[in-house]
Structure 1
């Protein structure tokens, strides 16, 4: 009786408190962590360095990368010490914050010395060594969608329960319920200003695929050249196939490209989106991946549209070759939103945009992530010390700052087939989704960012400029329609709609304006391997099935399929990992280094937090019940025989 009852109790307790895992016995944690996540707020030294002599750049870049490593290590130490749950702040100062300040002081001193040797010594950097411990936040999601019968979910976070209600994410550092908002509750944006008579009204679209071949790494050759894992989070790459921390300008120029037009070898990259569904990706134990809180299944975009638009005031000039542009701020959660520039929305609702929340899309609608890059160039530099001051955003009327000239503006639109997560149960029924981030940035949507390196050949760049300035709509495979394009939306940092009809609707939804590249070419995957809802399965004619309004003549450039190239920072493939698609992932091909494990589930795995959710795993409890009943029967029979 005692043995059976004990078996029941142990099994029920273990099942109800079960954490994330992939079913292989390698669960990452016993419980989903509390939402009260403290984080480390360090002054960003790199953003303050507006002038660094060329001779000092290698040393400065190396020390800036070391500062990021120090912060990431301190944050992991904070997690391990349990500070996210509100432990003693004084002990955190002694064990974590004070040693971090000492390490930062050494690195800042090296930066100051390197600049001093090559030019004028910077002043005031030493005062930026100290970091602060930011307490955890609590909150509730905004405007949680209904549950299907007209009643809204609560979206309430349950801090510190340990029962899977916290929504603190598979990596234990976010996202949380308050990071999401119902897109239908967001007010529509004001219409963009009308372009002037001399505006460059054309559009030029390039089709570089959706990274279906799985080219990933956690480097950033713009910010941390020569430093493996310089980003501390994983990027999707389309276009240039040689981009990693060690790629030189010559490497980029010689590389293959995933773009249809082989004259576009530009590199387009952004943090991956992950489903926090318990899947163990191949980077689960690697830097930039699971070891830095970036956990879960990487989602292949359903569609990626790369469109270059004009200026509402006048003509644009060609971008210089190898121009680097970063839009958004990967550290905006601690730096503040001044440089944040990503927008989030849903198909069918793109006149409504979110800057600091992930969208909760209604059934049948896909998540849309949009970047509008800077469109003014200083006319001299292809990069700057802080990677910002050589480019700028145009004013709402299209005017550039003094000394800057307008260039084609890259508008990057990425569509994902993911469902609105179930916030009330911390994403166990329908998983949370979030972008990769630096560990201390807690996967906040405001930290989203995009990177671009221009490696267009000169002829194709001239064609782009001529197309835009003459008001034509030029397609992804070349040629143009010879018709006047729809005017672009406002190019300012606050403008978020991709080229469309001025109301935020996209070409694929309206059938007008710029043609939409196909996201379903042979060998590319439109969908990640997570079971879709019936409403989503029924909807397939939005965004990827509409034909362009105007016929487009293809260029004579041949299409060359490219395969993923391994990079120095990619984790080594498992011996058992297939080089192509994993079982249960039809149509999805990935690089061998990041192929999903053979046992990876094809649907979100809900780690149950109740008996109803974990009933399939309660068979030991059933055996225990039989033992207890058998013991009771034998006990009663023995008493009867005794008397």
Structure 2
């Protein structure tokens, strides 16, 4: 949702590490592939640390099967995608049961295992077997034992959900299994998920040095802020044909008819919110909500309040979409219908290997970027989410089975590796006017958070962004030529 070299950190990030290996299943049998991975900051403020009084079970952690499947035969991909969506649905249902049975958990130490985790494993095993059948039916090869090994899930405590994110902070200080895990809906965020940005040490690294072969131009496309409230909880990249496949709400700008049932043919025919009518690309991201006790239109809907995504939806006050070049080479035009996902919506259980979240405040963006915490901005400063997408393409595929291996980040020097080609790097900057949350007695009041899968507890690191390239009137070549010629275009 193989690459063996370090990726180039985006201009807003700090360093790179190797990710854990990923299991690949398909026509080539069992292989292993390393993903580029982002190491992310831990702040040195020492502020807002709280101590959990008990090891409350916070959430369910299941292997992310979709990221392990890197080689699914084309004829099996739709069936596999549907089954992967079933796995997500099973986890959200299990989490809902976990959240609604806190009292029973205090009375029976084996309740979670017997009533939730055990039955979930059985459901997942049956779904994984259907994935095996889908792949084998079209001639693909599957390590059945390796696939079934992904069925079992575990639980995470409040301590693990924060320490595991890399910020070294404990849970929300709520004792007893009957307590919520923070947030207006009881599934986060907690006080440890926020930090006063003025107390964080600068952590933004210098950009890679540009050389004479670099492409220094920029191309800005103006597509609005989704003021018309074009929302849905689908994800056509990961779960095509599945309603509510994302289990959280997205903002959409650019292409106006993106949903689970959109196709390449329908996307090229649809309308766009972009000023440049040749840009029919789909740009979409999870909404941000303010958790001050208010509700929004989806408070009783799937993907909304029914799945722990609550509060007033905030529309960005600014949304900048800009394509930039490579410091070391010219760029190749993006292929039509290229799909890219940046970041990871499941970092609470997956870890930070594919995280690419960047949170900051206006006036601090060149100094501090946060991945594992939301910033509390000073008076007069606004919250900023920034994304810098993968900028290297394998030159052949517009998507891949796990939606990652066909694109990559450049290495630390700005070079594409393993035969990948530099393409215009999509960057996005979203600005929100938010009254600063208040931390008091180990609790957070008036929190804000990005929408996500309910079991991910609204952690800052789960932020992600999605893109489908759809261009008319030769716009893809226009963008590449502008960047290669060092011009600033729009």
TM range (shorter): 0.7 to 0.9
Q: What's the counterpart of residue 95 of structure 2? A: 75
1:355 matches 2:377:
no
| 1:352-379 alpha-carbon deviations (Å, 9 max, x no partner) | 1111110111111000001100000001
Q: What's the counterpart of residue 174 of structure 1? A: 188
Report the CA distance between 1:185 and its aligned residue: 2.2
8 Å CA contact 1:39–1:75 kept in 2: the answer is: yes
8 Å CA contact 1:35–1:158 kept in 2: the answer is: no
Query: How far apart, in 1, do the equivalents of 2:71 and 2:220 lie?
Result: 34
8 Å CA contact 1:317–1:406 kept in 2: the answer is: yes
Report the CA distance between 1:211 and its aligned residue: 0.3
8 Å CA contact 1:35–1:176 kept in 2: the answer is: no
Q: What's the counterpart of residue 199 of structure 1? A: 214
Distance 1:229 1:392, change over 3 A: same
Distance 1:158 1:97, change over 3 A: closer
The answer for unaligned runs of 5 or more in structure 2 is 1-53, 164-169
Q: What's the counterpart of residue 555 of structure 1? A: none
8 Å CA contact 2:158–2:171 kept in 1: the answer is: no
8 Å CA contact 2:171–2:190 kept in 1: the answer is: no
| 1:457-497 alpha-carbon deviations (Å, 9 max, x no partner) | 2511111111100101113xxxxxxxxxxxxxxxxxxxxxx
Query: How far apart, in 2, do the equivalents of 1:129 and 1:183 lie?
Result: 40
Q: What's the counterpart of residue 28 of structure 2? A: none
Secondary structure at the aligned position of 2:236 is classed as coil
Q: What's the counterpart of residue 272 of structure 1? A: 287
Query: How far apart, in 2, do the equivalents of 1:252 and 1:292 lie?
Result: 29
Superposed CA RMSD: 2.3
Report the CA distance between 1:393 and its aligned residue: 0.4
8 Å CA contact 2:106–2:176 kept in 1: the answer is: no
Secondary structure at the aligned position of 1:128 is classed as coil
8 Å CA contact 1:38–1:83 kept in 2: the answer is: no
Q: What's the counterpart of residue 395 of structure 1? A: 411
Q: What's the counterpart of residue 120 of structure 2? A: 100
Report the CA distance between 1:180 and its aligned residue: 0.8
Q: What's the counterpart of residue 483 of structure 2? A: 468
| 1:592-634 alpha-carbon deviations (Å, 9 max, x no partner) | xxxxxxxxxxxxxxxxxxxxxxxxxxxxxxxxxxxxxxxxxxx
Q: What's the counterpart of residue 136 of structure 1? A: 158
Report the CA distance between 1:167 and its aligned residue: 7.9
The answer for unaligned runs of 5 or more in structure 1 is 1-33, 142-154, 476-643
Query: How far apart, in 1, do the equivalents of 2:313 and 2:274 lie?
Result: 22
Distance 1:385 1:183, change over 3 A: same
Q: What's the counterpart of residue 250 of structure 1? A: 265
1:407 matches 2:423:
yes
Q: What's the counterpart of residue 299 of structure 1? A: 314
Q: What's the counterpart of residue 445 of structure 1? A: 460
Q: What's the counterpart of residue 85 of structure 2? A: 65
Distance 1:156 1:446, change over 3 A: closer
Q: Which of the residues 376, 386, 390 maps onto 1:370?
A: 386
Written as runs of structure 1 = structure 2, the 5 A alignment for 1:207-226 is: 207-226=222-241
Query: How far apart, in 2, do the equivalents of 1:370 and 1:291 lie?
Result: 28
Query: How far apart, in 2, do the equivalents of 1:440 and 1:140 lie?
Result: 14
Flag the structure with larger Rg.
1
Secondary structure at the aligned position of 2:465 is classed as strand
Q: What's the counterpart of residue 22 of structure 1? A: none
User: 4+ residue stretches of structure 1 with deviation over 3 A?
Assistant: 34-37, 83-89, 138-141, 155-158, 425-428
Q: Which of the residues 187, 205, 208 maps onto 1:190?
A: 205
TM-score normalised over the length of structure 2 = 0.83
Structure with the higher fraction of residues in strand conformation: 2
